[in-house]
Amino acid sequence: MRKLSIDNAVNASQQSQINLSLIFNYLRDSGSTNRSRIAEDLGLSIPAVSRSVETLEESGRITRQIDDQGTARKGTPVYAVNPHYGFVLAVDLLSIQTEVAVVDFSGQIQCREKGFRPEESTDVVRDLIKLIDCCVEKAAASSESTRGKIKAISLGVPAVVDRNTGKLMLSYYEKYESIDFAEVLGTRYGIPVFMENISSLSALGEKKYGGRPSNETLVLIEIGNGIGSGILLEGSVYRGNGFAGEIGFSLTESENVTLPGRKTGFLERRASLSALKLNILHELSFGVESTLTAVYEADLPSISPPLIFEHALNGDELCLMAISAMVRQISTALHNMTVIINPEAIIIGGDVCSMPGAEELLVVPIRERLKTSLPFTSPEISMSSLGSESGILGAATMAIDSLLLAESPYHQKTSS
């Protein structure tokens, strides 16, 4: 997904294609605008812009609108990328229930379906294909514009993707590692298949649709049954040697340096939502007093992370202590990541966002701990603005960018 940056269109033999590419990507970044603004911002002549805009409009890649408010002269045509130029299938393979969505090129979700639980499925490929087919048919039934225009599938996976082989490694669901998703889905649907770690895609989703600066260095930490993180360095996904962002394997206590880890890491065993539940159940089994005791004795299966957060909000000491232990572990891991990467922002996402009082009980204490522990100004720390949608929207973003930058590689050079 490489952008070719140039200062202006100067190569006569490629002038037309370069201009088309520049203008199309400019509209993708800026939204709807008129020809005069395009010419001014890109340093092109009005006639050159007009020719390119006509070509892009004829091909269906952009649409014309009439702006009655935002321009100096009412009725002036403005142009925007046509959201129905194409659609992608975005898949979140980490969700408690696997989720599939049909997303248009403007990032609007046209249809979404939730299906099988990964840990319960006996045939992941069968169940995934069934879910995809169901979502595609529902999208086509609600809008004919989607039929035949799905151009790619993008998978957010709870794993590291080997860039050379496309295989999955260190997957939260170990059975995923034996499945060649790209081969299976590419063969069945005959369209490109993209795959990326779901936490990295969530970070991309926040950047694109969460109002973040485009060149921001950002860390998104997803806290659910596991813990992962996505890193954007100056706006681009950072993978290191392939395994960057596996914060769930962070060691926050020195005596655990030799702790073996394969499926779940040390931090996940101490600070994930599943760890929180196990910790509470352990304490209740030893008779520790809590407002959850009656629930424990009468309806053990109903004790869940949301219930624990709810009781903590109501002042239960055991629940407050357990969540405080989560905060200490996560803060330590984020402190260590921050002194190495020095991000401008840290976003806390994942299932924890839906917990009652998560801002008060988790985000605020983490923010205060980092503020006092770091030797420099702490990065901005906030809850995900997209919640559970960040992974789906990030998957869509990766596919749309990959497709459109292949067609239109030239992009306006931006200052850092």
Q: Over range 68-95, report the average pLDDT.
A: 81
Confidence of residue 1 (pLDDT cuts 50, 70, 90): very low
Look at residue 409 and tell me if it is in a domain: no
Question: Do 390 and 384 meet the contact criterion of CB atoms below 8 Å apart?
Answer: yes
Share of the chain above pLDDT 70, in %: 91
Q: 100 and 216 in one domain?
A: no
Q: How confident is the model at residue 138 (pLDDT cuts 50, 70, 90)?
A: very high
Is there a domain that residue 32 lies in? yes
pLDDT of residue 73 exceeding 60: no
Question: Is residue 207, in this structure, part of any structural domain at all?
Answer: no
Please state the rounded mean pLDDT for residues 171-187: 91
Judge whether residue 2 has pLDDT over 50. Answer: no
Same structural domain, 225 and 317: yes
C-alpha 391/C-alpha 372 separation (Å) is 31
Predicted pLDDT of residue 257: 56
Q: How wide is the angle at C-alpha 346 spanned by C-alphas 390 and 196, nearest 5°?
A: 40
Domain boundary among 35, 59, 81: 81
Provide the CATH number for the domain around residue 172: 3.30.420.40
Q: What is the pLDDT of residue 203?
A: 95
- pLDDT, position 415: 45
pLDDT, averaged across the chain: 89
Closest CA to 86 of 6, 9, 21, 154: 154
CB 131 within 8 A of CB 106: no
Q: Quick check: is 191 in a domain?
A: yes
* For the chain, percent of residues with pLDDT exceeding 90: 66
Residue 358: partners with Cβ closer than 8 Å, 6 or more residues away? 309, 352, 383
In a domain, 412, yes or no: no
The residue out of 81, 105, 122 marking a domain boundary is: 81
Q: Are residues 191 and 326 in the same domain?
A: no
Is the pLDDT at 60 greater than 50, yes or no? yes
pLDDT of res. 69: 57
Q: Are residues 48 and 147 in the same domain?
A: no
Separation CA 275–CA 281 (nearest Å): 10
Extract the tokens encoding 333: 């891991």
pLDDT digits (tens, 9 = 90+) for 197-230: 999 999 999 998 888 888 899 999 999 988 999 9
Residue span of the structural domain in which 295 resides: 212-384
Residue at 78: amino acid letter: V
Residues 174 and 304 in one domain: no
Q: How far is CA 202 from the centre of its chain?
A: 2
CA 229, CA 347: separation in Å to the nearest integer?
Answer: 10
C-alpha span between 217 and 185 (Å, rounded): 33
141 with 248, same domain?
no
SS3 303: coil
Claim to verify: residue 313 and residue 254 sit in the same structural domain:
yes
**Confidence band of 9 (pLDDT split at 50, 70, 90):** very low
Asked whether residue 32 falls in the same domain as residue 102, the answer is no
Q: Is 414 domain-assigned?
A: no
Whether 191 and 62 share a structural domain: no
3-state secondary structure of 332: helix
Distance (Å, whole) CA 388 – CA 206: 11
Statement to judge: residues 312 and 379 lie in one domain: yes
Q: What is the DSSP string of 87-105?
A: EEEEEESSSSS-EEEEEET
Residue 37 DSSP label: H
> pLDDT tens digit string along 327-380?
999 999 999 999 999 999 999 999 899 999 999 999 999 999 999 999 999 999
CATH of the domain at 27: 1.10.10.10
- What pLDDT score was predicted for residue 416? 41
Count of domains for the chain? 3
Neighbours of 297 (CB within 10 A): 9
Across the range 36-47, mean pLDDT stands at 92
User: Any idea what the Cα angle at residue 15 is, between residues 14 and 21, rounded to 5°?
Assistant: 90
**Those residues with Cβ within 8 angstroms of residue 275's Cβ, 6 or more apart along the chain or in another chain:** 268, 269, 326
**pLDDT computed for residue 382 by the predictor:** 96
| Residue range 230-289, pLDDT digits in tens | 999 988 999 998 889 999 999 887 655 555 555 678 899 999 999 999 999 999 999 999
Three-class secondary structure of residue 172 per DSSP: coil
Query: Is 354 inside any structural domain?
Result: yes
Of 65, 81, 97, the residue that ends a domain is 81
d(Cα 95, Cα 89) in Å, to the nearest integer?
16
| Average of per-residue pLDDT across 94-113 | 90
φ, ψ (nearest 5 deg) of residue 14: -115, 10
Residues 362, 265 share a domain: yes
Residue in 161, 234, 167 with CA at minimum distance from that of residue 198? 161
Give the per-residue pLDDT at 106. Answer: 86
The band of 405, judged by pLDDT with boundaries at 50, 70 and 90, is: confident
Give me the pLDDT at residue 130, please: 96
Going through 180-311 in order, the beta strands assigned E by DSSP cover: 193-197, 218-223, 227-233, 236-237
What integer pLDDT is reported at residue 212 of this predicted model?
A: 87
Does the pLDDT value for residue 409 go beyond 90?
Answer: no
- Answer for the pair 201, 391: CB distance below 8 angstroms, yes or no: yes
For residue 41, name the pLDDT band (cuts at 50, 70, 90): very high
DSSP letters along 32-67, please? SB-HHHHHHHHT--HHHHHHHHHHHHHTTSEEEEEE
* Domain identity same for 375 and 268: yes
pLDDT of residue 326 exceeding 90: yes
Residue 387: which pLDDT band, with cuts at 50, 70 and 90? confident
> What's the first-to-final CA gap in the chain, in angstroms?
19
pLDDT over 60 at 26, yes or no: yes
Question: What one-character DSSP code corresponds to residue 359?
Answer: I
